[in-house]
């Protein structure tokens, strides 16, 4: 890890990706026997952990020759990966097209447009990512070989970015004393890559996924509408490897919002609602297993992306589709292969 990176002038904003701080939460964990620490991922250049992923995908594609000057970066997203794609694209000089559900926060839409990207909106919100991916396929078919799709839900580079970056950083910063790791599930890349590395270092480590109680996809095989933007997207991504998961911790949208507010007001960390999900889950895990000395989780992004949401007291109307949400047979079979502990 290049911890002295900021002591010198950098050649590109992309050199500032990663090596984020690991910060203890003494007030949030004051009533617990163990400690909770968070990786402060919003200090990445575009404001989220997705900078790690997009940088890895783009730079490897350039090395392979799959991505050449003059091509278009295309991605379907609920926000953070799209914004990271805009940042990387702007830095490297690529045109960017982002497809996102219209129900995501206004701040996400404005940020994407501020980077100069083209934004295509699809019906619904975070549980309607299937409609986003359908539109991505149409755009890809239209532009053909001109387009390179980031493909966060399927690319190995997503989890590799965390296996070679996030995981080793946590291990080094905690001096190998981390007893548990928790991460919410969007693409599954952060959980899988980080969990794989930490499990190799310490086979006894506990590894849990936090999930909205209203949409317990992994815990109960059910999809529902919730208020935690960016996770529980109504599918089980193929890069999510559940062999590393000991279990799932369910937290309600209200708990996630309340915990995110606590992080701002008690610890000075103004973060998004999915980060609240992670920390709320960490508290539940510590209460269930009080002998865990250090639980590490992620602050995924900045609260500035949520100013128009219930996190900041706004009750903006979101377009929620009246549709039936069900898991496919392949996903149901995938879940049946694992016996995950569920903590509620």
Residues serving a catalytic function are 50, 274
Count CB atoms within 10 A of the CB of residue 60: 16
Name, in order, each residue with C-beta under 8 angstroms of 138's C-beta and a sequence gap of 6 or more.
none
Q: Where are the beta strands (DSSP E) in the chain?
A: 22-24, 35-40, 72-76, 95-101, 118-122, 147-149, 180-184, 206-212, 247-251, 294-299, 341-343
Q: Are 186 and 159 in contact (CB under 8 A)?
A: no
Residues 305, 299: Cα–Cα separation, whole Å = 13
Whole-angstrom CA distances from 22 to 219, 296, 336 are 28, 8, 35
- State both tokens at 94: 């690529």
Q: What is the residue whose two structure tokens read 């980031």?
A: 150
E strand or H helix at 184:
strand 180-184
Whole-angstrom CA distances from 97 to 44, 57, 105 are 21, 16, 18
């Amino acid at each position: 890890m290049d911890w002295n990176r900021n002591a010198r002038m950098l050649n590109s904003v992309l050199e500032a990706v990663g090596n984020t701080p690991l910060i203890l939460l003494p007030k949030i964990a004051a009533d617990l026997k163990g400690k909770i620490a968070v990786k402060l991922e919003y200090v990445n250049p575009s404001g989220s952990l997705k900078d790690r992923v997009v940088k890895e995908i783009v730079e490897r594609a350039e090395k392979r020759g799959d991505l050449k000057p003059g091509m278009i970066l295309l991605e379907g997203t609920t926000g953070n990966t799209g914004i990271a794609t805009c940042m990387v694209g702007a830095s490297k000089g690529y045109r960017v097209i982002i497809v996102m559900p219209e129900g995501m926060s206004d701040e996400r839409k404005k940020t994407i447009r501020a980077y100069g990207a083209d934004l295509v909106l699809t019906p619904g919100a975070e549980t309607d990512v299937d409609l986003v991916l359908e539109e991505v396929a149409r755009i890809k078919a239209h532009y053909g070989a001109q387009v390179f799709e980031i493909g966060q839900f399927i690319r190995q580079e997503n989890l590799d970015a965390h296996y070679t970056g996030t995981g080793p950083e946590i291990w080094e910063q905690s001096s190998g004393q981390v007893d548990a790791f928790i991460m919410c599930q969007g693409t599954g890349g952060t959980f899988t890559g980080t969990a794989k590395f930490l499990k190799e270092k310490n086979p006894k480590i506990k590894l849990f996924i936090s999930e909205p109680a209203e949409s317990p996809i992994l815990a109960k095989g059910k999809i529902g509408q919730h208020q935690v933007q960016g996770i529980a997207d109504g599918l089980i991504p193929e890069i999510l490897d559940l062999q590393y998961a000991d279990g799932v911790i369910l937290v309600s949208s209200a708990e996630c919002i309340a915990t995110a507010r606590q992080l701002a007001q008690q610890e000075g960390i103004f973060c998004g609602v999915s980060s609240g999900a992670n920390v709320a889950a960490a508290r539940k895990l510590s209460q269930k297993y009080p002998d865990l000395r250090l639980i590490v989780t992620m602050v995924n992004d900045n609260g500035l992306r949520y100013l128009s949401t219930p996190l900041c007291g706004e009750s903006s109307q979101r377009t929620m589709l009246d549709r039936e949400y069900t898991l496919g047979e392949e996903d149901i079979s995938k879940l049946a292969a694992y016996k995950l502990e569920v903590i509620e």
